[in-house]
Structure 1
Amino acid sequence: MNAVNKSDLEVGEQASPGMIRRVIASSTAGTALEWFDYFAYGTAAALVFNEVFFSNMPPALGTLAAFLTFAAGFMARPLGAIFFGHLGDKRGRRFTLIITMTVMGGSTGLIGLLPTYDLIGVAAPLLLLLLRLVQGFCLGGEWGGATTLVLEHAPADRRTRYQMFVQQGAPLGTLLSTGLFNLFGLLSDEAFLAWGWRIPFLLSFVLLAIGLYMRLGIAESPLFEKAARADRLAKLPFATLLKTSWGRVIAGFFMVQLSVSGFYVVTTFMTNYGTETLEMPRSLVLNAILVGTVVEMVMIMIYSWAGDRFGAPRVFMVAAFLAAACAFPVFALVDTRQPALVVLGIVIGIGLVTSPFGIVGVILGSFYTDATRYSGLAVTYNIGGLVGGFMPAVGVAMIGASGGSSWGIALLLTIIGVSSLTGCIVGQQLLRRAASHESAAEEGYTLAAS
């Protein structure tokens, strides 16, 4: 059996327009739920977990501990990517995505039921950490699977704009989680700490039921089904990925830094920086993130359209350059503490670092073969996410070391943009080299990004 093969199925050829729409809708809804769960944790870590689960520590150490539990979820994501990537490349995309949604949604709801440190002592943060690790493990398989499923259904000339809808799940999740925390943040501090912060987590049970209903109604990838019938699946997808595509995995790791590390700098870290270091009202920072999230959704659409029109890699490079160039101006605007300028700075920051999120999936999808695409997307994105998870904690430490100045974190954001630009350039070079090899026709690069 040849584990790495070129599929003779033209992507989207066997999928009806109605099924494509259902796949897009269910993948978007599922991804929105997964990211809602994840972003709710990030917001709570920035606002309340230091007082609820680490009340035995000084405030600064409690905040750092809360952010480290946030980062712990990212440490579990690569393991989840390997596990669910294997499952998705062996058992199917749809089957695997149902599992990731169910377990992650359940773990998030349980966070809303956890007793505090004052009630059960050290068991409280340990249980929080355990549920966070489950979250991260399941998210490791969600994004790669949802993106793969849509890419393998979509017509060749509309892959970027179709998979863009999946990427809209991230801002939708942010919008919902931040909006809920903003709403319940209107409560008194006592009520918010006592029960208000729990409501967004408990709502995950409701969202899980809706998401599962939608996801159970979709069809499996026609490309995967044909490969399975022909007995052309990789026996060990992860091992095959490392054997055939390790250079592109590394390039992809750097490429995704803007969408993961950069994102957590301008959202999760910025929430803490604005409220704790700059002592601005919580509502101001959260409202700015809400506006930035709406702008993010528009930017994702614009860049995705441009990706189909001008080529996804070319558009991604422009986006990464702009994000790197604007890092210092973004923090300069926030540092003014003037509400209008603070909102402007956060909106620009979110818009620039997230604008290429709508096209990163189709570029990474083109890096890998039909037999390893789920594993490739999941592993690349989540190894990159492992670094991103530590960005809020790194930001807090850098602000402390610089006496409250933002120049260090602004420099870090610039470096993140440059690394993403470099990763995209190197990845395209490696892909062209593989495609020019005389055996490339047998390796299954059916999603080449023009």
Structure 2
Amino acid sequence: MSITSTASPEFTPAPPDPLGGQPSRRMARKVAGASFVGTALESYDFYVFGTAAALVLNRIFFPDVDPLIGTLLSFLSLGIGFIARPVGAVLFGHIGDRIGRKKSLIWTIILMGTATGAIGLLPDYNTIGLWAPALLVTLRLLQGLAVGGEWGGAILIATEHAEPRKRALYAAIPQIGSPVGTIMVTGTFLLLTNVSQETMEAGLWRVPFLMAFPFMAIALYLRFAIEETPVFKDVAGHQAVARVPVLEVLKTQRLAVLVATAASLLGIGSYFLMTTYTQAYGTEQLGLSATTVLNAALVGSVLQLATIPAFGWLATKIGSARMVTAGAVATLLISFPLYWMISTADQTTYILTILIGGIAPTAAWAALGGLMADLFPARTGFTALSLAYSFAGILAGFAPALTSAFAQSTDSAWWHPGVVLALMSVVTIIGAAAAGRMTRRNAEAAAGAQVGA
């Protein structure tokens, strides 16, 4: 059967290995490891900005405004990086769907590492005035451009090398890169909290950004060592590569992209709400120390090293869409109790609350890659995954800024972050349920087409 035969206008089943067998298990594990390490380093690069935005960037780049307004501006610069994500999704998706998954992922690492390292070289506001925040925003946009292609490609290259029955588990492996990136970031900033604020603002804040350069070299070494996926080789071998992937996605997969965007919102947004925003909320409104909020993020991320693969394994049993739905329902139920406990917490209770409260959205995050990989056809998978993830990222990336503005309008009422977390949960429940129905329908149609062929 030709790969161009479609079971439905929105779905083309992923092709088999062109040699007629299963993808190499050894290469599958190697690719999964490279995807995980690359995503961890990309996550570090992207998250280091979020942590710095909560703790120090407002005073470095926005020193002449009220501290609360400075934090809001800092979070807005955080969110601006998400605007570039769809552009990156189109650019790197085009490369990934037409030239190869591997080549695209090499370029995302180069762009991200260079942009992040360059932030560490920026002069501050006191040196060059308004040019400092302008350059900061420009580099943040380049970060967003890189991430626009990174996540979708990492998920795709891992799942396309995996055995069909293990796709959900292999899709969860790159997701572990997110907590590893957080561990690297929070560990670095915890070390830096031992120095005075004056020393930090004098230049030590640059160190976490400059570390992106050696990390980039590691990720490039690993990605040059992996092979292109058998799925892409088969698509290219049948001359079934999409001419303009983004146009095909927008023409035939608009509903699937919308559904995937909704299903992604909690997995992405919960990180920025429950860590980036809550870190600033804990230090500025609750009076907790920076060490306490960083320790909470660190311990929670360590826990995710176990919960993400566990939820990924469970997704192989019950389905990725059901796993995302379950995580979103659980998060909805704890949204308001979680932030009530945080608002009344001492240091120990704060850490325990963040630790326990992070488990439910982790289920949605762990299974997200499998849901997305099952939803889209092989020939445009890179572009479609990346676009959906990017659109969700735009909404999620502004969650801290919107929640901060909401805090001002409600006089920082304890429940204001719970409203945002609950809304994201509801959207994800709707999206994941729809994704599950679409995936089952597509699989049934594809099986019928194969029988007919």
Normalised to the residue count of structure 2, the TM-score between the two structures is 0.94
SS in 1 for 2:82: helix
Q: Which residue is 1:379 aligned to? A: 387
Letter in 1 for 2:109: M
Q: Map 1:238-387; keep pairs closer than 5 Å.
A: 238-387=246-395
**Deviation of the 1:8 alpha carbon:** 4.1
Which digits, 9 at most, give the CA deviation of each residue in 1:194-228, with x for residues without a partner?
Answer: 12211111111111111111111000011101211
Which digits, 9 at most, give the CA deviation of each residue in 1:89-139, with x for residues without a partner?
Answer: 001000000000011101101101111000011110011000000000010
C-alpha contact (below 8 Å) 1:72/1:129 kept by paired residues: yes
Closer/same/farther in 2, CA of residues 125 and 262 from structure 1, 3 Å limit: same
Aligned equivalents of 1:2, 1:21: Cα separation in 2: 29
Q: Which residue is 2:16 aligned to? A: 9
Q: Which residue is 2:245 aligned to? A: 237
Q: Map 1:6-405; keep pairs closer than 5 Å.
A: 6-9=13-16, 13-405=21-413
Aligned equivalents of 1:97, 1:3: Cα separation in 2: 28
SS in 1 for 2:211: helix
**Deviation of the 1:35 alpha carbon:** 0.6
C-alpha contact (below 8 Å) 2:371/2:435 kept by paired residues: no
SS in 1 for 2:227: coil
C-alpha contact (below 8 Å) 2:263/2:324 kept by paired residues: no
Which digits, 9 at most, give the CA deviation of each residue in 1:246-296, with x for residues without a partner?
Answer: 111111111111111122110100011000111111100110111111122
SS in 2 for 1:176: helix
Q: Which residue is 1:445 aligned to? A: none
C-alpha contact (below 8 Å) 2:43/2:178 kept by paired residues: yes
C-alpha contact (below 8 Å) 1:32/1:168 kept by paired residues: yes
Letter in 1 for 2:328: A
Letter in 2 for 1:9: P
Letter in 1 for 2:333: A
**Deviation of the 1:431 alpha carbon:** 3.4
* RMSD across aligned positions (CA): 1.8
C-alpha contact (below 8 Å) 1:296/1:355 kept by paired residues: no
Closer/same/farther in 2, CA of residues 338 and 385 from structure 1, 3 Å limit: same
Letter in 2 for 1:258: L
**Deviation of the 1:350 alpha carbon:** 2.2
**Deviation of the 1:6 alpha carbon:** 4.3
Closer/same/farther in 2, CA of residues 3 and 72 from structure 1, 3 Å limit: farther
- Whether 2:417 is the aligned partner of 1:409: answer yes
Aligned equivalents of 2:109, 2:177: Cα separation in 1: 13
Greater displacement, 136-145 / 244-253: 244-253
SS in 1 for 2:122: coil
**Deviation of the 1:311 alpha carbon:** 2.0
Greater displacement, 355-364 / 165-174: 355-364
SS in 2 for 1:363: helix
Aligned equivalents of 1:54, 1:431: Cα separation in 2: 47
Q: Which residue is 2:9 aligned to? A: none
C-alpha contact (below 8 Å) 1:185/1:196 kept by paired residues: no
Normalised to the residue count of structure 1, the TM-score between the two structures is 0.95
**Deviation of the 1:337 alpha carbon:** 3.0
**Deviation of the 1:306 alpha carbon:** 0.8
Greater displacement, 84-93 / 354-363: 354-363
Letter in 1 for 2:181: G
Closer/same/farther in 2, CA of residues 147 and 298 from structure 1, 3 Å limit: same
C-alpha contact (below 8 Å) 1:161/1:308 kept by paired residues: yes
Letter in 1 for 2:242: A
SS in 1 for 2:349: helix
SS in 2 for 1:171: helix
SS in 2 for 1:371: helix
Letter in 1 for 2:248: T
Seq. identity, %: 36
C-alpha contact (below 8 Å) 1:3/1:233 kept by paired residues: no
Residues matched between the structures, number: 442
**Deviation of the 1:3 alpha carbon:** 8.7
Question: For structure 2, which runs of at least 5 residues remain unmatched after alignment?
Answer: 7-11
Closer/same/farther in 2, CA of residues 49 and 437 from structure 1, 3 Å limit: same
